[in-house]
Structure formats: C-alpha cells, structure tokens
Amino acid sequence: MISQIKIENFQRIDKEIQIDLAPLTVLVGENGAGKSSILKALHWSIRCATLSDANEKVTLEQMDYVPSKEFLELGHKLKLQNSSAGRHTTVTLVNEEFENTKISIRGSRNDAGVHVKIDGPLKTILTNDTSPSTAFIPGLSGLAEEETILAIPVMHRKASSGEGGSALRQIILQYSEQAGGTGNDYRELEDLSLWVGKVLPGVQFWVKFDRLRDRNIDVRFLTPDMKVPGQGYRVAWKSIEMAGTGFLQVVQIFAYLLYFKPRLLLVDEPDAHLHPTSQQALIRALSDATEEFPETQIVVSTHSPNLVRALPQDARIHWISAGVAKAEGTLVREKMGWSALDKELIIFSEDGNSKYIDSILSTRREIQNRCLIWPTFGKDSLPNGSKAKQIAKRMGVKILIHRDRDFMSNEDVVAWSETKAYHTCDVEYWVPSGSDIESLFVDVNHIRLSLGVSSAIAQEIHDEALSSFDETHIRTTFTHAYQSAVSKLPTIDGRDAVSRWMVLGGFTEETIKGKEFLKAVKKACGSVLPKHGLGQYMNRLKKIGQSDDNNPVASDLLDLLSRILDD
C-alpha cells in the first residue's frame, strides 16, 4: 500500500506537494489548480520508469503515455534539463513502512528523450512490464468505430496511452478470459455488468470475437429502458460505440480495474458527463471496489459537490490550489458540500433568486470570484449571529448577511440586527436602501442608462409604472410587509405602519415593493417606447434588471464586501 506521494516540478506543481493516500483518495480544486497534474505525473513517471532501457533512457517514440509531445516543457515554468544538477521532475511514493521509492526524470542529450532513475522498495512492483501498475482514465472523447485483436504488449501500450477509446473492446475481451475468442456466439460479461450496474442499474454487457470469422471485436450493451416488452434482449441491445460519453467512461473505469487490477487507478473528473445521482453512485462503487480489490488504490479528481457528499468517511480528500495541497479532511468536505471551495466569503441572502445580487457583484469580478451567494428563501431562515460565526470559523470563510428592507427605517434595521446578535458576534450585514434589492433597479436614472433614452422618456416610463398601481392595494401590501418586518422588534413611538407610510411620503415608489415596480416598469416600456418611435429598444428591457460597468448598482454593497475581504 502506498501511504503518500510527493511530486515536484511537474506542470502546475512547482515545489514539492505531499498527498496522503487511502484506498480511495479524492482531489478537489478549481480548474488549473493542479489536480490533473498529480494524476499525470504519477502515470507518466511510472510508465517512463517501466519503459526505460538499460541506460535508463526513454525516447518520445517509446513513451506510451506523454501529457505533451513537448515533454521537456512538462517542468513547472522551466524546461527539464539534462544535467544531474539541473531541474528535473521527481515523484516519490512512500510505503506503509515510510520507505521512499523515488523516480527522477530529466532531459537527455539532444532533447531525444528523458533520463529516468528509480530507486526504492516499490521499484519491482511499479515497473512490472507484464501488466501496467497504473491505469489513467482521463475520460473518453469517443470510441473507435472498429477494434481488431492486438498482441498483448501492443494492447497494454494503447491502454496506457490514456486514449482508452482505441483499446476498450480489446480490454473487455481480455478481461472476460476469452482472449482466444468467444466462438460464434456472444458471451455475457457478468462481472462488468455487476460493477457498472452499481452506477447505472440494470445494465448488461456481452462480447463476441470469433477468431476464424471476425475481423473486429463486438461489444453489446442493454439498459432496462432499452428493453422491448415481450421480446428477447437481442432485439434491443446496441453496439457499445452508441453509448454516451459518461456511460463509456464508467465502463472504462471498471473494465480497466477488472483486467489490469493496477496498483494505482487514476480517474480524472469522471463526474463531467454524469447525472448527480450517478456521480454519487460512482464514488460509492469505487469505494466498494477498494474492498474487492485491496491491492488497488484509487485516486479521483473532481469538481462535483455531489460526489464529495457521497464520499465514505474512511476516504481521504485533498483541496489542491495553485499546485499546493491547501487543506484536507472535514474542512474540504464541508466547503465542497456548500460549493464554497476557493471562496472566501459566503453571502447569506434571503432571496431565492440570486440573479440580482449576482449581477451587482459582476461589476467587480475580483469580488465576485471570491464570494458564494447562498439563498435562504426567506428572512426567517437567515442564520443568527452565533450560527453565522460558527459557520465562518468551521469553514474558514467570512460571512455577510443580506435581507430586504421591507420598508424599515434605519433605526428598525439596527433593532433587527440586534435581535439576530450580529453586532455582538461581529457579523456584517447589508440591507438595500429601498424596499428590496429589485428596488435598486427602478430609479429614473437607471432606466435612462439601461435603455439609452432621454431623462424625459425615462421619467415617463417611471410615472406610467407608478400610475398602474392601485393605492388601496399598495397600502394594504405595505402595511402587511412592514408589520411583518417589525413584529419581533420592541414597540416604540413611530414603529407602526401608519407612521412609516407617512414618513415615506404615502403612495410613492418608496412604498411599493421593488419586485412589483420592476415588473410595472418593463410593462410601461411596451407602451411608452413605441409612442416615441423607439419600439426597437424593447430588446433592451433585460438591461433594466442588470448592473454593469457603465450603470452600476449598489456600490455600498460592493464597498462593504471589499472591506470585509481585505480585513
């Protein structure tokens, strides 16, 4: 069993990165973080060590797997050098006795290949040339239309290349122990059906290759939804090349596992083409596989929170960022569960629809990229100060609370924040200046800039929207909203709907919910714009509900977020 791997100077990885392994290990991180670099470094170094000649050299033509034909550029930033003291890639595998097996790869003279040196107790196992000790599965872009029988060494080289689509049928045939052929009929692949069926329930597989009559290997599959009532399976089954990409990658994973039983099964982003339910089923199946095949350790890279949520507790999980192992364990599981990996701040928003707050953040990408918006679908579901503080501490992030104003005064807002203990727990909050976040998108100037019309036309649109409301209905709606907002606050003079209505000026834009006023503004555009010969501007309506660099909204929110992030 390999307990730890160390990698230095390979693609995204500069200084040595150390990853502790379990039977099942998962790597998470954003695009370009270095997850795939880890898998490729392991596979490439071990394959080079296996294929090296008596002089410890491998040419490009001899490499069955290489991440790039510009292989000397695989070092981090600088080329691999051919001197023993120069820059080279190192991959170290540590066994359970804490003994190191080190693979060192450097350039060879005239850039003709690489010089590979491997030393340590795992050397014999890792460089076994009868069967690859690593299997790398980067995903299938498609399957070759035809596959004929290959000599075993050739098939192994094709499989090791990472281009599984050119050898998958051959591997399936070999694993089925029918290398000499199946005769003139199909043989059912019960083991493959069992393992793939853990992810895609009810699937069945068959293989056929008659050495006397067939040129190509034929693999067939059948899923429950393909079956025809009252008909045999041969009526409905299909050739394997007709399966989808996600389906084929699952087949490849378990075909490689069943045939090669490699020491390291390296699976790169298997979630990319799978439904979330299947993602979870896959990681559970891989966990089962580590028990059935105890000599095989599985390393998976993923972006999927769904996959991580289903990860068993005895599996290891590492967060990779900028070529560095940033964290592991419970913290990573929780951040992935929240989809908050690589985020520094969580905005708990009472709005179920986060498109408006996301639009506001989009005007400052450096802020947006660091924030996660988490809808709570109502103000009553917002975390209180104590809960927010616990989340911030446990997940290593900062917290901002967003709730709508609901016509409250600034004094009301402060009183509400005290009931939630935000001040005492040092939790920041933001309340828009209008009734809700949508109210920020309906002032005359925003309408003018969004549509590219004159101030007079924008004012006309605004006034027509206002006139479309019934004052009695608006006052009833206002009263209900305000009373609900302050119902749990201390009773003081002026904290009542009648007084607040008067302070806001009665029946005005200020006493209408922004959500409703925004709809009315868009409707008013339908009559005002054509009247002025601007009917073609109707295609700009969506801009009224958006913030952009030329027409920004809620600069106070952006400034607050900037301050919190920089503290």
DSSP H or E run through 530: helix 514-531
Contact 350, 366 (CB under 8 A): no
DSSP-assigned beta bridge partners for residue 264? 134, 297
| C-alpha atoms less than 13 angstroms from C-alpha of 123 in its C-beta half-sphere | 13
Q: What is the pLDDT along the chain (567 residues), one digit of tens a residue?
A: 899 999 999 999 999 999 999 999 999 998 889 999 999 999 999 999 998 888 889 888 888 888 888 888 888 888 888 877 778 899 999 999 999 999 999 988 776 789 899 999 999 989 887 778 998 988 665 677 777 777 777 777 777 776 666 788 888 988 887 656 677 889 999 999 999 999 999 999 999 988 888 888 899 999 999 988 888 888 889 999 899 888 999 999 999 999 999 999 999 999 888 999 999 999 999 999 999 999 999 999 998 888 998 999 899 999 999 899 988 888 888 888 777 888 999 999 999 889 999 999 999 999 999 999 999 989 999 999 999 999 999 888 999 999 999 999 999 999 999 999 999 999 999 999 999 999 999 999 999 999 999 999 999 999 999 999 999 999 999 999 999 999 999 999 999 999 999 999 999 999 999 999 999 999 999 999 999 999 999 999 999 999 988 889 999 999 999 999 998
Beta-carbon contacts of 116 under 8 Å, excluding residues fewer than 6 positions away, are 45, 48, 49, 52, 56, 57, 58, 103, 104, 105
| d(C-alpha 163, C-alpha 137), whole Å | 8
CA distances from 486 to 241, 329, 405, 506 (A): 63, 43, 11, 19
The per-residue DSSP string of 243-307 comes to: S-HHHHHHHHHHHHHHHH--SEEEEE-GGGGS-HHHHHHHHHHHHHHHHHSTT-EEEEEE--HHH
Beta-carbon contacts of 137 under 8 Å, excluding residues fewer than 6 positions away, are 162, 164, 249, 252, 253, 256, 265, 266, 267, 268, 270
Predicted TM-score of the model (pTM): 0.76
Phi-psi region of 407 (alpha: psi -120 to 50; beta: other; left: phi over 0): left
State the chain's maximal CA–CA distance in angstroms.
Answer: 98
Rounded to an integer, what is the distance from CA 14 to the centroid of its chain? 24
DSSP H or E run through 44: helix 35-51
Structure tokens at 408: 């409250």
Looking up tokens 């980067």 gives 138
| d(C-alpha 456, C-alpha 461), whole Å | 9
| d(C-alpha 296, C-alpha 132), whole Å | 12
| d(C-alpha 295, C-alpha 308), whole Å | 23
